[in-house]
Amino acid sequence: MKQLVLLRLDENKLSGDIPLELGECSGLQQLLMGGNFFQGSIPSSFGSLKSLEFFDLSRNNLSGPIPGELRKLSIFKSLNLSFNHLHGEVPIGGVFNNITGLSLYGNDYLCGGIPELKLPACPVIHLKKPKKPLHLKVILIIVVTGAFLCSLVLIIILHMIKKPKRLSSANSFEDRLLMVSYGELYEATSGFSSTNLIGTGSFGTVHKGTLRCFNKPIAVKVLNLQTHGASKSFVAECRALATVRHRNLVKSLLVAPVLTTRVQISKHWLDVAIDIAQALDYLHNDSEEVIVHCDIKASNIFLDDDMVAHLGDFGLATLIDEAKGNANREKVTSSTVKVDCKRNHWI
């Protein structure tokens, strides 16, 4: 029906979308479709109807914007789109500039158009400006800073992972003594055999060994109570080790009337001399009472698997009672240690 001049379908009960093919009826001069139940949007193909003079789509259920293509129809005499659900901006130009031939009543959500229509202004939509590309220097700074932070975090993580390994075994026993039987110590040192002997002192021997409940090597000191002064040496050593704590001093895991065990702590071989110096500095300057070891020798220095040096054997230690002034000091050797029960302190 491309040669059709008049199509009148008004005042019926037609429904559905308006066929797009109507835009191919190039000979149409009048298209009257008002008073129906058409829905959907107005086809933009109607902009091709160059001969169209009268167009009526009023009193339907049409929605959406008014196609801007309709302003191209220069010979339009009447356009009636009233009483629908159209919304958006009204085009400017062509029939939309002819206030007498245009009817838009009953569309509450239209805006804009020529001032004579007295429609509300359309809201201004602010388009986001495209972001400027980052300058090369900024990108370089970000990359370098990110790499530095990642490296710093990696170093901290590696340090945190490595550090606990040095004291993992010792820390689990730092604040408590082990409950170890004589039989377990006997087994740990292969019966206190000479092959496990690592030192001989004035009051006994020291044997190396390994406990099942403790992964690190231990040193077991066996006191000969028949030796004069052994008991007092034992008491003095217990007192000395009970009040001190340092990374380069051996720690007591078990104290019994006959023997005492110590565990080594980690460090590196090249720092052996520094380890012992730090231990002595602590005993002389940082402990609650000044303690002089008095028996520094190779057999009293213990090395663990990581070649860390630990000072042990406090049997001959000298305790110095500091007066108010540093110049006045009274020496009390382990051979003369006794307890003043009335005062409830060691003298």
Q: Is 265 a residue whose pLDDT tops 70?
A: no
pLDDT at 202: 79
Active site residue 108: no
Q: Of 295, 304, 313, 321, which residue is the catalytic one?
A: 295
On average, the pLDDT of the chain sits at: 76
Which residues pair with residue 218 across a beta bridge?
Answer: 209, 263
| Inside any domain, residue 59 | yes
Neighbours of 145 (CB within 10 A): 10
Final residue belonging to a domain, choices 127, 152, 171: 171
Domain coverage including residue 210: 182-346
Q: Which CATH number characterizes residue 317's domain?
A: 3.30.200.20
Could you read off the pLDDT of 275-296 as tens digits, one per residue? 888 888 888 888 778 888 888 8
High-pLDDT (> 70) share of the chain, %: 76
Separation CA 52–CA 47 (nearest Å): 9
Based on the structure, what is the number of domains in the chain? 3
SS3 at position 150: helix
Neighbours of 281 (CB within 10 A): 12
pLDDT at 300: 83
Could you read off the pLDDT of 130-151 as tens digits, one per residue? 655 656 777 788 888 888 888 8
- Of residues 43 and 142, which shows the higher confidence score? 43
Residues composing the chain: 347
CA 275 vs. chain centroid, Å, equals 37
Clarify whether residues 62 and 186 are in a common domain.
no
DSSP 307-327: --EEE---TT-EEEEE-SSTT
C-alpha triplet 254, 257, 262: angle, nearest 5°: 30
Clarify whether residues 190 and 331 are in a common domain.
yes
Clarify whether residues 16 and 162 are in a common domain.
no
Clarify whether residues 153 and 100 are in a common domain.
no
| Inside any domain, residue 130 | no
pLDDT at 256: 57
Clarify whether residues 147 and 86 are in a common domain.
no
| Inside any domain, residue 1 | no
